[in-house]
Chain A
Amino acid sequence: MPGGIAIFDFDGDGLQDLFVPNGGDLPSGLKTLAAHSDKLFRNRGNMRFEDVTAKSGLAGKHYAFAGSVADFDSDGRPDLLVSHLHGVTLYRNKGSGFFEDVTQQAGIDNHNRWSVGAAWFDYDIDGDPDLYITNYVRWDAKTEPECRTAGRIDFCHPRYYQPQPGALFRNDGKGTFTDVSDTSGIAKHAGKGMGAIVADFDGDKRPDVFVTNDKMPAFLFHNRGDGTFDETGFDTGIAVPADGKTVSGMGADAQDIDGDGRPDLIYTALRDETFPIYRGTAQGFEDASAATRMGPNSRPFAGWGVVFADLDNDGRLDIAAATSDALSGKVDPSRAGPVVWFRNAGEGRFDPAQVLAAPAMHRGLVAADLDKDGCLDLVVTALDATPKILRNPCPNPKGPRAPRQWLGSTAVGYASSVWEGPSSSSSPSPR
């Protein structure tokens, strides 16, 4: 499974269900086999899940990377946007477990660009969710170069591909959208977009968008409140880590980890690049990789999906990440990595990684309380493997607990086919 997992209660029964995007044939980028189907799993309670894809209409047609959820038509039912190799598909939740492809009628056209993720947010504060789409590089199978590392075939460095801008669609409130990528200023900034996270980073009560780029400086789109955005990555100190080395930015998350009321931010990158972590300050961002110990702690890992989540209910946000190296053509066991947990030790520091799941080609990761026991569980995806649920044993849901063994993973019961595209939680990756 490539992996930009979406967790949402699509049927309104109070339990979190799972949408898991899936790959397809290459180079066509189309789903040509039943095994390529994207999947919707209904949570039946007690950690039992039922595959309801066939009925839902969410099987998909394109090599998919991520799902993003919002009730765009304000009918009380969460809808789903799927990012894929040829753009995006918007599905309206019609109720009773049915979804309908409304991409065209909603006016969403990503111009066949390779999208790996999206973020819904109300940038114009008019009460309905607007849509930011993260686009990766321009890719054409016909011009795909053959790349080698140490004489052996390997993935191609992002520098071999042209960047492209993200897209912004304003929700018109009638089930339709207007493409405001140009007028908002978003289209001026071509990147190699991966993860997108929305938060009010500067405390002006307007949501901003942070976008990781693959081996390029990250973007922070500051919402000016007049329908336009400034790119302020360098001005705020978050474009690149403090040593000036650009990294392969992948998944990202933003939460207030130090309780100062400002969102802090982490994103994953490849082995030896570390997972840069920043503290939000009144003047912008400060690279906190050294102070938090996350620099040394994360250096041995290549990360994809990442979340800030209080996994041990001690009131402090920990960090969990899906890891494995970038892909070189086919799934290679020597590049597998574990799911890791960096426990927040307090006083602004994180403990070294503890392994929550054995190595696989992990990509996507999300945290949610799937069994409603008061503790956050994790859902992870890996290439060439079924998605897994890591159930939090949760001995004391109301208070702090010592680190403990997590229960064995539960495969979300179906056989996957060959998956070659990776991804991360907020946004998947093509490598």
Chain B
Amino acid sequence: MGRTVLIIFAFAALIVAQDLSSQGAEAMRAGRFAEAERIYRQLIQQDPKDPGWHGNLGLSLHSQNRFREATEALERSLKLKPSPGLAVVLGIDYLKLNEPCKAIAPLERTDRLAALADAFYGCKRYPEAARLYTKLGSTREAARSWWQARDYQQARPLYEKLVPKYQADPAFAWEFGDTLLRMEGAQAAIPWLERAVSLVEGRAALGKAYAETGRFAEAIPHLEASIKLDPDLLLPLSRAYKATGRAAEADRALLEYRKRQSGQN
């Protein structure tokens, strides 16, 4: 008798779950994501070990742009059962949350290589990003990744290939100029850095390049404009002041530089 009652209850619960599941699916299809969320939470209460309910809850939260909660639900689902589809959503949500390092593991289980490359880049794993961008034919991104990785030998030929397309782009001019500054020296870099003066980073690099070639008077305005970005430039600025006969300013800049240095250690 007791056994029969249990079977009836279980059967009834199954019917209720199936009913709720259909309602949840219907709500998702209709774009009623808050309703779908409520339904899947109910289903999870009934059966917390079902990966599907957690996954669907994650999708409903993702659709409401509630990415933090979505990642929690999706992580729970993927722990119970792997799913490439949900892994993609999880990876994308981590990217949206600006947590690229966490996006890597789920995206590595999928075929979304572009997103994975972005995750590597965002996580500062630049060589892996560069290789993947190269595989995807994204030369501009690959060049930037090698440059970020400070592997200028790899970056340079890619930048050279991109010159016809990007020569008017100040960001490109800065990256390429900086690459040349490090690989070849200031003479080769200056023409490119001069095209990047609209960027404060470009001005900083140009100031350094001018100072390196002894063009101190030309270096000064660029170095002065870049001190906020890079206070280390106080040292070449001091040198430039000194070389142009501005001894008092040179001493002040050097003093400020040394003060900052001693504060850092």
Residues on A lying within 8 angstroms of B by beta carbon are 149-151, 159, 163, 190, 192, 216-217, 234, 240, 242-246, 271-272, 290, 293, 295-296, 299-300
Contact = CB atoms under 8 A, between A and B. Distances in A.
Interface in B175-189: 182-186
A300 B123 contact: no
11 contacts: A151-B101, A216-B261, A242-B211, A242-B236, A244-B236, A246-B232, A293-B185, A295-B185, A296-B182, A296-B185, A299-B182
A299 B152 contact: yes
Given A234-B258, A296-B183, A290 B212 contact: yes
Contacts of B254: 234
A299 B153 CA distance: 10
B261 A217 contact: yes
Closest 4 CB pairs of A and B: A244-B235, A244-B232, A151-B101, A272-B150
B125 interface: yes
B4 interface: no
Interface string B219-231: 0000000000000
A271 B236 contact: no
Contacts of A295: 182, 185
Nearest to B100: A151
Contacts of B208: 243
Contacts of B183: 296, 299
A240 B260 CA distance: 13
A245 B261 CA distance: 10
Contact of B257 (A216, A244, A299): A244
A299 B180 CA distance: 12
B232 A245 contact: yes
B212 A242 contact: yes
B184 A300 contact: no
Contacts of B261: 216-217, 240, 246
Interface residues of B, number: 29
B234 A244 contact: yes
Contact of B124 (A149, A271, A296, A300): A149
Contacts of B257: 244
B123 A151 contact: yes
B264 interface: yes
A293 B261 CA distance: 27
B250 interface: no
B158 interface: no
B245 to A, nearest CB: 16
Nearest to A245: B232
A335 to B, nearest CB: 12
Interface in B183-238: 183-186, 208, 211-212, 232-236
Given A150-B123, A151-B123, A299-B182, A240 B235 contact: yes
B153 A300 contact: yes
B260 to A, nearest CB: 10
Contacts of B235: 240, 242-244
Nearest to B261: A217
